[in-house]
Every structure is written in structure tokens, then in C-alpha cells.
Amino acid sequence: MSEHPIIHIDNISVYRKKILVLSKLSLDVNQGEFIYLLGKTGCGKTSLLKTLYAELKVEEGHAQIAEFNLTNIKTKEIPFLRRTLGIVFQDFQLLTDRTVNANLEFIMRATGWKNTERMDERCHEVLDLVGIPTKGFKMPHELSGGEQQRVCIARALLNNPPIMLADEPTGNLDPDTSREILALLHAINQQGTTIILATHNHYLIDEFPGRQVLMDRGRVVKA
């Protein structure tokens, strides 16, 4: 664990379309932690994750993630912030008209990769890491839900991010596949990646323990 938190949030308020979605929220996360964001649908979990990757703006208070000050981050800095984050969505958000490898290459080009040979190597590396080394030539519709989520995790790992944000990554998966995805995320965490996982499914938390942060009405009520 580092001496200083990798994420520091102090008394922030955040609005979406003039509606208050986070209210005087505070939270510190240390490097290497595995955090479960818990709470009912609409409690603010997704809004907090969107704040961390600067889709929502911090209006009041102070927030810092890695070396980025979210309170006064400039638009031109946001792509650099997102390169330090791996983001995993519930609904996969894969490009359906191209192969798995092409999905990964699209992200690499967007984040500054130039060397085609090294890009090809990195595709193989991350797909191997997530347990689907032979699926790079497949189209997304040819994969199961669990395999698509593994591709999303591979995509999130491309730039070796110190922090991974996962928004309901098992929300569309059956219990056995959900267990496999949680096991994979915990293995990634064991390599030092800080993981914040928003979920309303509690049944796997005992099997894959982490620090539980409970949210309600846009605030952290238990950390």
C-alpha cells in the first residue's frame, strides 16, 4: 500500500443535468485495494465512477485520482487521465463490426500506439491474460457474454493501468460466469492493480472479499 491514497475525494458535490447526484461525498482509496461499491440502483455508484473518469464534473469539494486533480481538470487532460484507467462496462461497448483484435487495436491507436508489431503482441498478451488467447479473430456476436466481458477486461488492461473501474461487470452474466469474472478481476488485483467495482449483487462478495463501500442517495454511508 502506498503512503498516500491513489484516490482522494473530499466533500464533493456532482450534478448531472442540474440534478444533484453526489452530495458531500468523501472517500479515500489506497493503491492495491479491491473496493466494492454497494447500494441500490440509483444510489450514485455509476455517477461516482463517471466522476472518476471525468465524464461528470466536480462542482464542489476536491477530488484527485492518481496524479490528476478532478476539481479543475482541463478538457485536453482527460484523454491522459483515461489512459491511466481501465474501464469495464456492464454492456461491453464493443464495436460490433470488427474482430476482437480490431477492437483492441482501435483503443491502442486512440491512446497513442504506433508500432503495429508491438500492438499485435499486446493484443495476444492481454487476451492470454484474460483466458481467451485464441479468440482474437472472432466477431463479438460469436462470443458468449462471459467471453465478451473478458474482451472488455483485456481492453481495459492494454495500457497497464494502475486503476481499474468496473461498473456492474457481472450484471448481464449468469452466476457461474459471474464467478469466473470476479476471480479474474481478483487475480488482476493481486498483481497490484487497484480495482473499484460497482455492483448490487452481494452473493459473490464473501467468496471474493474486498473492502465494502456502501452508498445511499449520493453519499458514502459506510466505508
pLDDT digits (tens, 9 = 90+) for 92-117: 889 999 999 999 999 999 888 999 99
Q: What is the pLDDT of residue 89?
A: 85
In percent, how much of the chain has pLDDT > 90? 82
Beta strand extents in the chain (DSSP E only): 7-16, 19-29, 34-38, 58-65, 68-69, 85-88, 163-167, 194-198, 211-216, 219-222
Report which of 170, 137, 139, 138 is spatially closest to residue 153, judged by C-alpha positions.
170
Residue 123 has pLDDT above 60, yes or no: yes
Longest CA–CA separation in the chain, Å: 48
Helices (H) then strands (E): counts for the chain:
6, 10
pLDDT digits (tens, 9 = 90+) for 1-55: 446 899 999 999 999 989 999 999 999 999 999 999 999 988 999 999 999 999 9
pLDDT digits (tens, 9 = 90+) for 154-179: 999 999 999 999 999 988 889 999 99
Q: How far apart, in Å, are the Cα atoms of 200 and each of 19, 41, 61, 168, 176?
A: 23, 7, 27, 8, 17
Q: What is the pLDDT of residue 172?
A: 84
Residue 204 has pLDDT above 50, yes or no: yes
| CA 27, chain centre distance (Å) | 17
Contact 26, 142 (CB under 8 A): no
175 DSSP 8-state letter: H
Burial class (CB in 10 A: 0-12, 13-18, 19+), 164: buried
Q: What is the pTM of this model?
A: 0.93
Contact 138, 99 (CB under 8 A): yes
Burial class (CB in 10 A: 0-12, 13-18, 19+), 91: exposed
Concatenate the DSSP letters of all residues of 46-84 into one string: HHHHHHHTTSS-EEEEEEEETTEETTS--GGGHHHHHHT
Task: Using pLDDT thresholds of 50, 70 and 90, give the confidence band for residue 202.
Answer: confident
Contact 92, 47 (CB under 8 A): no
Length of the chain: 223
